[in-house]
Each structure stands twice: as structure tokens, then as C-alpha cells.
Amino acid sequence: MKLLLIEDDPMIGESVEVGLRQAGFTVDWVRDGRAAELALETGHYGLALLDLGLPRKDGMTVLKGLRQRQDSLPVIVITARDAVADRVAGLDAGADDYLVKPFDLDELLARVRALSRRQAGRTENILRVGALSLNPTTREVSLAGQPVHLSSRELSLLQALMHKPGAVLSRFELEEQLYGWDEEISSNAIEVHLHNLRRKLGPEIIRNVRGVGYKVVAPDALHP
């Protein structure tokens, strides 16, 4: 999943960015309110982490603008303002969750996972498609109970495809999910990762929907 991090403090921003990437998320990081608005209008994110005290445009205005555009993107507000009134105002303006600085990175990651689960309409943390399961917390994948070892990108790609079972994602959408602005991407990167996934999981588990993109097919459905 790709996250937009909106934070002007370089120390906090850097540690959150590194922590999120280590946990397997793709991250775009913007450092002021105007850049945040531009990114929100043009990018495709699964969730935003929004600091309230920002240069050029404050976070609350960014949040209100997002909701006025009827954008339902999950937003976790991260802020030093720990007054109850600020928390209430943030939630009333359309934030889905709230973290007060200084916060623990593990707690942030747990809240991100919980929100993304809720967004996808799932009640449990583990992603399942038939006998294939993926645990976003431990980053473990198993097929029919047997562990499968995947690279970080392969796992992110599989997670994107399993996030909403049955959904077809285009190559462009997968590239967007897997790579941030500042990362180099070769033209066949997605195909290479898909090839490796099929080699490790079996050839038919990821189906190519001609002219549209890719989807995951339950392995049990293939071999009843």
C-alpha cells in the first residue's frame, strides 16, 4: 500500500518514512500543506498521515479540503497539539484516527493496518485468498500451510493484489503501489516481480486479465 506522509519536521518525517518502508509500505513524503494538496489531488494513496502544524497551508485546512472534495481517503492526524479540543476538531473535520507526538512507531503501524483493514471491509488482519495467506504484520506468506519466502517487492505486489480479492489492478496501479516518487523503476519491473511470484506460488495464481491488468485467483479454485 502506498501512503502519503505529510510532515514538515525532518527528524520525525525521516523516522516515520524509514519505519513505514521497513514495514513494507511505499511512501511519498511532502513537507508543506500546498504540496500535500497537490499530491492528494493527483496521486493514488491508500492512506495519509497528516501533521496539523504545516507551512504554507495548515493541516486542518488540507483535511477539510479533502473531505469537501468527497474524498474518503483514510487520514490519521499526527500532531503535537494534545489538547482535547484539537483532537475533537480533527476528528470532526474528517480524520479517521489521531496520534499525539511523540508516538511509538509500532503503534502508528498498528493503526495504519487497522484503518486499511477497515477500508477494505475486512475484520481480521491476515489477508486470505483460498489457501494463500499473507500476514501484513509479520510479512509472512503461506500457501496451503507451507511458508513461501518472498522478496520485499514481491510481497508488496502480492499484498496489493490480495488487498481487495477479485479486484483487477493495472500495471500502472501496481507500479504506483510499489514505488515512491524518488525511486527508479525499470519499464518491466512489475513483470519481473510477477514472474518471480508465479515461480514461487505456481503459474496460475496471478491471472492476467487481457488489456486490463492482474488479479489473484484462489489456489483451491484451480485444483479442486
Site residues (CB under 5 A) for Ca ion?
A: 8, 51, 53
Residues, the chain:
224
CB of 10 to Ca ion, least distance (A): 10
Identity of the residue, 37 or 51, whose beta carbon is nearer to Ca ion in the bound complex = 51
As measured in angstroms, the least distance from the Cβ of 53 to Ca ion is 4
Smallest distance, Å, CB 15 to Ca ion? 14
Q: How far is the CB of 36 from Ca ion (least distance, A)?
A: 12
Nearer to Ca ion, 95 or 132 (CB): 95
Question: Whose Cβ is closer to Ca ion: residue 8's or residue 28's?
Answer: 8
The residue number with the shortest CB distance to Ca ion is 53
For Ca ion, the closer CB: 105 or 126 = 105
